[in-house]
Amino acid sequence: MYETILIATDGSDSAERATDHALDLASRFDADLHALYVVDTQRYGGSMVSDADAITADLEERGRELLDDIASRADVDVTTEIRSGRPSQLIGEYADEIDAELVVIGNRGLGSGGEIGSTAERVVRYVDRPVITA
């Protein structure tokens, strides 16, 4: 049913639930799994992050740790990618690049309250492929 699945993570609790779901689906369908972490330059102020190498390096290191964890838990091969920019936009662009048949994301990010987060909402609304939120 699914040949290529994209999991986007920010390390939040809901992203962890989404990761578990994506890992299960990839295993069931023997799908190619891609894991994406986006250094959210919008959250911290694009110019501040882009000019501060130490901050960017710390955020990228956090992303590498999260992606390495996903790869270590998977029983399929995982392609990992780190990008910088607006998460909802880059999730959609990367899904297009890899021709993902499914995008799996958490329904709330690190800064969200009780309802669906803004990134998840944008991905659900604007990404032109099926999206599962957890």
Residue 1 is given by DSSP the state -
Looking at residue 16, its pLDDT comes to 96
Its pTM stands at 0.90
> How many CA atoms are closer than 13 Å to the CA of 106, on its beta-carbon side?
24
With CA atoms as reference, report the closest residue to 110 among 58, 19, 21, 43.
43
* % of the chain beyond a pLDDT of 70: 89
Per-residue pLDDT of the chain (134 residues; tens, 9 = 90+): 899 999 999 999 999 999 999 999 999 999 999 999 999 877 655 555 555 677 788 899 999 999 999 999 999 999 999 999 999 999 999 999 999 999 999 997 766 556 788 899 999 999 999 999 99
Looking at residue 114, its pLDDT comes to 64
Enumerate domains of the chain plus CATH numbers. 4-133 (3.40.50.620)
